[in-house]
Amino acid sequence: MNTPTSVEKIPVTVLTGYLGAGKTTLLNRILSEPHGKKYAVIVNEFGEIGIDNELVVNADEEVFEMNNGCICCTVRGDLVRIIDGLMRRKGKFDAIIVETTGLADPAPVAQTFFMDENVGAKTRLDAVVTVADAKWLKDRLKDAPEAKNQIAFADVILLNKTDLVTPGELAEVEARIRAINPYAKLHRTERSNIALDEVLGRNAFDLDRILDIEPEFLTADDGHDHDHHHDHDGHDHHHHHGGLKHYHDEDMQSISLKTDKPLNSDKFFPWVQDLVQTEGKDILRSKGILSFKDDDERFVFQGVHMILDGDHQRAWKEGEERTSRIVFIGRHLPEEKIRKGFESCIA
């Protein structure tokens, strides 16, 4: 129903991370590097940004529930208003960065882009970037549910302040992150130093960019590549693999399921809708590439809690394995129930 328009949607990057992890350092870096781009920045506290930027907006992080009978459908009310206001000045900036407070849940920010028609028509969510403190993250994962949420939700994780920990501690914290979210792009950084194209312009929510869903391994700056694309289906946690420790996080996990048999779309859609309706509160992110019976096109979807966004992506290529794969990242996910449900969708 959207009127076709040549106007590009403005990309929005969500910058999250626990207190003191280095979000503001990264933000200052983004604003000060000579990239020729202008960013509108939505922050929580003025004054933290050292860079003179015309378009800095103070937000109050107001999380509002929607009246649609869906308990986890929350939006950031302040973002709805601010983006309305900013879009009156379109042409003055190329992209928007939303910096959340250290205690924020990224979900309401992400959901705002799917729930508000006006925001969704004019802007698009690019990626959720989480900055984590290499020294303290391990402790925060134990005592701060917010920190765990931010890791689980992320498309890109900067494991920052790596200069303050030993290689052993670093491997440990990376394994902890991977236990929660094996799919995010992980970078080791010092003082949030990173090439900006690793955090901006990621298109992480773009259905066309869902190419494969494989666990990501460290994109290390140390030239040392772990290079093992093992399957995560087996779910045998607590194993050692090429020297990399594997952990099982007690309350936040990912589930990955796949099948080479085509799925029945008449079974799959009701099942996945029902799943996110009943378990959506605990499912933070979901993603899938699907092969349906009698359908020559790949179907892809991605979701945030109860909101699912899906479409046919392209024709299956000649010789391409028509494997259906879905992943869920969430809290206390009923793995057996999900696995059985998925298997029952096989045509």
Partner 1 sequence: MSDLSAPLPSLADRARVVQADSGIVGVHFFKQTPVFVLGEEALLFAPVEKRTSVAIHGGGILVSAGDGQRIVTGGDDGKLVSTNRDGDHEVLATDEKKRWVDQVALGPDCAVAWAAGKVAHLRTGKGEARQLELPSTVAGLAFFPKGFRVAIAHYNGATLWFPNAAAKPDVLEWKGSHLGVTVSPDGRFLITTMQEQTLHGWRIVDAKHMRMSGYSARVRSLSWTHDGKALATSGSEQLILWPFEGKDGPMGKQPTMLAQSPSRCSAVACHPRQPVAAAGFSDGSVMLIRLDDGALILAREADGDPVSTIGWSAEGQVLAMGTEGGVGSVLTL
* Binding region for partner 1 (CB under 8 A): 1, 3, 5, 46, 54, 57-58, 60, 62, 64-68, 75, 77-78, 80-82, 85-86, 88-92, 115-118
For partner 1, the closer CB: 119 or 177: 119
For partner 1, the closer CB: 14 or 86: 86
Min dist. Cβ of residue 110 to partner 1 (A):
16
Min dist. Cβ of residue 25 to partner 1 (A):
24
For partner 1, the closer CB: 54 or 266: 54
For partner 1, the closer CB: 63 or 156: 63
Min dist. Cβ of residue 5 to partner 1 (A):
7
Min dist. Cβ of residue 62 to partner 1 (A):
6
- At 45, the amino acid letter reads E
Min dist. Cβ of residue 109 to partner 1 (A):
15
For partner 1, the closer CB: 54 or 163: 54
Min dist. Cβ of residue 312 to partner 1 (A):
24
For partner 1, the closer CB: 44 or 193: 44
C-alpha span between 195 and 214 (Å, rounded):
23
